[in-house]
Amino acid sequence: MRTEVRIWMMNFRIPGGPLTILGPSGCGSDVAVFDEVADTTTITLDETDERVHRLLSVLEERGITAWWESRYDCFTDDELEAARLILMAAHSILDGIFAGPRVGTRYDMSEACKLCGAGARQTSAMVVDGESLHLLEAKRTIHTCYNDILVDEKLAGALAESGATGISFRGVFAAFEKRGHFQLPWRQLCATHTLPRMSPRSTGIQPYKSCSCGRSSFLTPSKFPTRLVYRAADVADSRDVNVTWEWFGEVKFNGDVYDSVLPYPMFLVTPKIWRIFQGAGVTGFDWIPIQVVDE
């Protein structure tokens, strides 16, 4: 495992442009990527690279504030193959297709938290916004704004034929304001098994708005690598596809589920599932092995 540091800068907010920062810090084209459309620069460095400290020092000395820092753990294929379970995390939830309760997906709230909605149980097919179907083009899988995972029919078939445990599927429909719902050649990947609470030794996770249920709504701040830890006994009965007991993301719940923003669980899968997604050329997800401890 190695940890990468990514610094994202807004070029137009840097007097003299980004080269006035990159030159003194020793960051060249080997680590810096310019986006002319967004007018941004992203620098990616190994955490141990001496240029990390140099770059941060230059930014501080010059009073530059229009920059953001993220840290990510990176793993080799061998490390992923050896993992007990792997967190399947979308690069950015905000880039997902709009779906869920506000589009028409139905839920049973009888066992959900009355304050935050954690534990809501989906009872219908997944309904996505028909105006956002362009996001599905040329993709094998995509996540929704609630971290639901959608796969095309071919990939769903490969997952089903693999004999993977803890897996089920729902249909996917597109909702149009004046034309109703139309079924799509996609399937929603669902987990039948929820893991116990993760170990308090997990890091890179923090409460967003604490709820008395203790189950939501957690965030994974990008400034710290997400590292999930589980007790060995708690993953002994895990399946190939699982979801966390903890629910993540923003919450806006007023009792009316169809006018709410609900939290969501995260997916934890085995290397078997990771291999299938890799074989399908899927991108857009970070794959992070969990750590297993004896206590």
**Statement to judge: residues 64 and 177 lie in one domain:** no
pLDDT, tens digit, for every residue of 150-168?
Answer: 999 999 999 999 999 999 9
Q: State how far the Cα of 44 lies from the Cα of 40, in Å rounded to an integer.
A: 13
Of 56, 74, 92, the position where a domain reaches its end is 74
Predicted pLDDT of residue 91: 84
Both 35 and 16 in one domain: the answer is: yes
pLDDT digits (tens, 9 = 90+) for 239-278: 999 999 999 998 888 888 888 888 999 999 999 999 999 9
Q: Are residues 7 and 38 part of one domain?
A: yes
Q: Which of 244, 243, 183, 247 is nearest to 214 (CA)?
A: 247
Residues 107 and 128 in one domain: yes
Q: Smallest Cα–Cα separation from 53: which of 72, 31, 32, 26?
A: 26
Q: Which CATH number is 65's domain given?
A: 3.30.70
The residue out of 32, 48, 74 marking a domain boundary is 74
Residue 206's pLDDT is 86
In this structure, the answer to whether residues 146 and 171 fall within a common structural domain is: yes
Domain span at 42: 2-74
Residues 170 and 86 in one domain: yes
The domain total for the chain is: 2
Q: What percent of the chain has pLDDT over 70?
A: 100
Tell me, yes or no, whether 161 and 70 share the same domain.
no
pLDDT of residue 210: 77
129 in the same domain as 53: no
Give yes or no: residues 56 and 202 share one domain. Answer: no
Residues 70 and 82 in one domain: no
Q: Binning pLDDT at 50, 70 and 90, where does residue 146 land? A: very high
* DSSP codes, 93-149: GGGSBPBSTTTT--EE-TTS-TTT-TT-EE-S-EEEEGGGGGGGTT-SEEEBTT--E
Q: Are 129 and 155 in contact (CB under 8 A)?
A: no
In this model, does residue 142 exceed pLDDT 80? Answer: yes
CB 136 within 8 A of CB 186: yes
Buried b (16+ CB within 10 A) or exposed e, 142-170: bbbbbbbbbbbeebbebbeeeebebbebb
Q: Facing residues of 112 across strands?
A: none
The predicted-structure confidence for 210-248, as pLDDT tens digits, reads as follows 789 999 878 888 888 999 999 999 999 999 999 999 999
Domain edge (last residue) among 74, 108, 136: 74
Over residues 94-106, mean pLDDT: 91
- 3-state SS, residue 61: helix
Partner residues linked to 267 by β-bridges: 88, 243
Tell me how far apart the alpha carbons of residues 237 and 252 are, in angstroms, rounded to a whole number.
33
Q: Name the DSSP letter for residue 199.
A: P
Q: pLDDT exceeding 90 applies to what percent of the chain?
A: 82
Side-chain half-sphere exposure of 70, counting CA atoms within 13 A? 15
